[in-house]
Amino acid sequence: MDVMLLITAVAVVTFAAAVQAAVGFGAGMIIVPALIWAGLPIGEAIALMSAAVGAQLTVKLWKYRRQVPWREVLWPMGAARLVGYVPGFILLWLLSGASTGVVKQSVGAMVLLALGLQAGLRIKPRERLAAGWAWASGIAGGATAGAVGMGGPPLVLWVVAHDWPAQKARLFLWACFWVSMPLHFVVLIAMFDPVVQLKWMGVGLATLPAAMLGISAGLWLGDIIPKRELRWAMIALLLVLGVSSLAGPML
């Protein structure tokens, strides 16, 4: 195993852990493209990301387990994400044979489309939305999570449309990602070489000590950033990641 690749993986996971802890999402959108740029195939990159993020989410959710809005996480959002995983995993199988440029540009286009919809719809934040929006966001999030390991944007746009405290928004997103991790592990092992997948999942788990430092920094930042600024930070991060993923291969 390339030592520089391992060092890169630890650094990327630690930074992504800080972002995820602060704003509630972003780990997959940072880790997967960075590891692909570093030379990992998409299957291995998603395996490492899933194990690393799954371990971090377990630690964070255990700490805040009494505050997680489990009912809203499981229904209808959790069910909708399961539906979306079916076409997502099919697309992952197809993308595994495509070039890294195609993969990154597909992700970037998806993120920018989601932001465009958010800007065009101009949804005023409110306490509750119609159930149909949860199903649409959940299916889209499950599909993108299954295809490229980045199911955050549709869920983030749904959360941004709610007038929720920053803490509830983060916990909701963490729990949504966490409950689907076991399915992700099983499908990755079944779809690709089990030995290779387990190896990179082990690497992901091994990054946990370093990631904990990032989590501590991210939680501190998340607690001091006001709700309005946190919402804009979430949208700005999506914009940067979308543009870089779309334009990177051309540059």
In tens digits, the chain (251 residues) has pLDDT values of: 688 888 999 999 998 888 877 776 778 878 887 888 788 888 899 999 999 999 988 988 998 888 999 988 999 999 999 999 999 999 999 888 877 777 777 767 776 776 676 666 666 777 777 788 899 989 999 998 898 888 877 888 888 888 888 788 889 988 999 998 898 899 999 999 999 999 999 999 999 999 999 888 888 887 787 767 766 776 777 787 778 777 766 66
User: Does the pTM of the predicted model rise above 0.75?
Assistant: yes
- Collapsing DSSP to helix, strand or coil, 162 comes out as strand
Q: Which of 184, 163, 151 is nearest to 231 (CA)?
A: 163
92-103: pLDDT as tens digits: 998 888 777 777
Asked whether the beta carbons of 110 and 153 are under 8 A apart, the reply is yes
What would the two tokens of residue 103 be?
């993969």
- Collapsing DSSP to helix, strand or coil, 159 comes out as helix
Dist. CA 125–CA 133, nearest whole Å: 13
